[in-house]
Each structure stands twice: as C-alpha cells, then as structure tokens.
Amino acid sequence: MQRDPRTTHRRAGTALALALAAALTACAGTDPHAGLLRSEADHVPVTVEDAPASAGAVAATENLGLLTLRSAPEPDENALVSPASLSFALALLAEGARGTTADELDAALGASGAERTAAYNALTAALRTYEGDPAVVQEDELPDRPLLHLANQAVLDDELAVEQDYLDALATSFDAGVQRTDLGGTDGKDVLDAWVTEHTGGLVEESAVEPDPSLRLVLQNAVLLAARWETPFEESATRDVDFTGPGGTAPTAMVHGTQHQAYAEQDGWAAVRLPYSEAFHADVLLPPAGTDPADVDPATLAVLTGALDDAAPRSVELTMPTLEIEPPALDLSPALEQAGLGGLFESPDLSGITTAEALRVSQAVQQAYLRLDEEGTVAAAVTELAAEASGVMPVESVRMVVDRPYLLRVAHTETGLPLFLAAVRAPQH
C-alpha cells in the first residue's frame, strides 16, 4: 500500500533517532540501565472486577484530561494530551504522599488509599493484555492485533534516601522499574532519554526533564498505541476537502467512506465511534459550528460517549482529516493547579518517599504524538513528574486553641536559662 510521504519521513526519523540514541550511549560509555534496582516484592496484578474504585478512577482521568487539554498555551493550535499517562504518573506519586497531599491526590485520582492503588493496578493490568514491543511502530504496516504498551519508571538521584516501602509499592502495584543515577548531570539525562526513546518506539525522542543538582526523583509513565481500524478506509478515496479552522479555510487531506458504526447527537454535537481491530475505539466528536472542541461540557461528553456505548450501528458516511500531531512539550502545572494539586509545587507531604529531606514537584511535563490515516492510529505519550529537595520537611498541622489558663516561659535559647515564667489565668486587660 502506498504510504503518505510524511509517514515515511517520520518512520525514517524514528529509526534514526533510535540509532543515534544507541550510538551516543555507546560512545559515552553509559549504560542507561546500569543503576537498575530490584525490589524483592513481586508485581501482583488486580482485576477490574476486584477493584470497585476503577470506575471512579476512569471518571477522574477523563476530568484530568479535559483540564489538561484546555491548559494548552496556544488555543488556536492543535492540542494533544494523554489523560491516562497523567493519571498513572500521579498514581505513582500518590503512593508516597501523606496527610493533606494524599487527600488532594486521592480527590484528583477518583479513589482513596488502598482502593486507589487497586484501581490503577487493575487498569494497568487490563491494558497490558495487549502488551508488545514498542518498536512495532517502526514497521510499515500496523499490527493485526492492537498493541498497547504501558511502562512506569522511578529514577532516583544518588543522594535520595528512599523508603523501601515506596519502592515495594511501585513494584507490587505498578510493575515499575527503578533506577538510581545522578539527576544533576548528563548521566541522569542519558537514563531519562533512553527510557523515553525505548518505551515510545522513538516517537518521543528524549525526556523533557531538565537536569538539576536539586532533583531527587523523576517519575515517568509512557503509553503507546498502535492499532488498525476494524474497517480500514480506502486510500484511493482520500481527497482534499476544505477545513475551516481559526486560521481560515484550507484544503486538507481527508479519508472518506461509508461504514456501519455507532452514531449519536447531543446539544448540537455529532459523534461517531470507530472501532479498532480489537478492544479499543476512537470517538470522533464534532461540535456545533463556532464551538471550540476543548470547551465540551463534561456532562455533554458523558452523554455522548454513553449514547455511543448503547447505539446500534447505522450507516455513516464519514469524511475526516488524516492527522499527524506532535505539539511542543506541555507544562502540566496549570492543569494540576486547576485539579486542586497546586500544593505539589509548594510544600507537599511526600514523606512516604523519603523522610530524610522534603520534596516538592518542580517539573511536570507531558509529550505526545499521534498519527491517524486510512489504516489506523499510532499514538504515544510520556508524562514526567520531577521532584526536588525543598529544604524543609512538611509538618502535618495541628490545631491548638489557648482558651484556658496556661504557662508562659521565656528562656535563653543557647543555655535554656528560664528568664520569665508566667501562669496566665486571666489574660483580659
């Protein structure tokens, strides 16, 4: 089958990126897996049936995705995010959160404590039914069976005294790899870059985390999909059709075909569901004219997707653009603040990760890539949360109301010599 020249160029670039990454690693004498650590705890997958909070986790992930989509800095340009990648990265962080920070993460992730852990464990296990080699995205043809590659990693700085319970939780519930390196220099950057390249099949070529001597931890999540349409579009039917966007109207290559698919309408929106060969689908949601698609009301989105779940297939003549989207790395901090997680950047309680020093999130970035054509879809995303030493260990607040007689002691700090003592019984004056 004749390929789009852009796709051929992209795949050539992907292969070159992988080759260059390997060559640079070899030349530098750096083994990106040299610091690999192994927890003695085994991965224990949970089924969705045994994790009742999974539905809440899915709904929360949808909400995080909409917040992230709307936070893209260029509202007139394409925006692409992976809600799942962000949720999984936050779930890794939540395993080490305590106190108010844990409560805030639980709220954003749609489940609390052990139920949250089980929910994201179960979602991971469900996706890994379709696990495979991420390098498949370099092939000229998409696989007959969808590939969904999911990977998690925690990269620890040499100076971080990490809690073993945290490493065990990552291994048990998320099957996360753990590496130790110097996150302040090129060795750490090599480790981060190599993992990103490997687990996205080269579609994302390097980590977006900036090395810094204060960095102590980087959590990485990668999601990669390669899936063929259940009913592919005929390449011969692809033609240019005018597409009107914020910049005006321009001819755009679009696939075209009539298929029997689920279709729904709600509040001026039209939606069609395109199934892949197995287990996954794409919903194409067309808003009323003049409406920005990122402004979809969550309730409207829920009604549309629910209607598609229930709809019987009907004949749909569909014309839609082919796509290749690769926006710049997205700063996640605005979306996290809107999700009630702004405290992660201030003085969070991450004492479940380490009690030796205080940590705060200093970098939160997502990179994504998507290609859609007559054959199917390839998409990849990497979410990275970097935590640095913040200098002061968080202290859980307590409430003290001095509403009865009390003792006041004024002393010399160095010697402890008491200078004044007062029994305050009636402070009114």
Fold (CATH) for 5-228+324-389: Antithrombin; Chain I, domain 2 (3.30.497)
Instruction: Take residue 5 and report the two structure tokens written for it.
Output: 């020249």
Between β-strands 147-157 and 177-181, what pairing exists: parallel, antiparallel or unpaired? parallel
- Residue 35, pLDDT score: 62
- Residue 36, pLDDT score: 64
Over residues 260-273, the pLDDT tens digits come to 999 998 888 888 88
- Residue 208, pLDDT score: 97
- Residue 87, pLDDT score: 94
- Residue 31, pLDDT score: 53
Stretch(es) of the chain classified as CATH 3.30.497.10: 5-228+324-389
pTM for the model stands at 0.85
Q: Which of 159, 155, 158, 135 is nearest to 147 (CA)?
A: 135
- Residue 391, pLDDT score: 66
- Residue 426, pLDDT score: 61
- Residue 374, pLDDT score: 95
Q: Which residues contact 413 (CB under 8 A, 6 or more apart)?
A: none
Look up residue 232 and give its DSSP letter.
P
- Residue 180, pLDDT score: 95
Average pLDDT over the chain reads 85
Q: Partners of 364 in the beta sheet?
A: 385
- Residue 403, pLDDT score: 60
Q: Which CATH number fits domain 239-320: 3.30.450.190, 2.30.39.10, 2.60.40.1170, 3.40.640.10?
A: 2.30.39.10
State the residue for tokens 């796509």: 323
Stretch(es) of the chain classified as CATH 2.30.39.10: 239-320
Q: How far apart are CA 235 and CA 1, in angstroms?
A: 8
Residues in the chain with pLDDT < 50?
Answer: 1-3, 5-6, 8-9, 16-18, 20-30, 32, 393-395, 406-413, 415, 418-425, 429
Query: Are 187 and 157 spatial neighbours (Cβ–Cβ below 8 Å)?
Result: no
Element (H, E) at 381: strand 376-389
- Residue 38, pLDDT score: 58
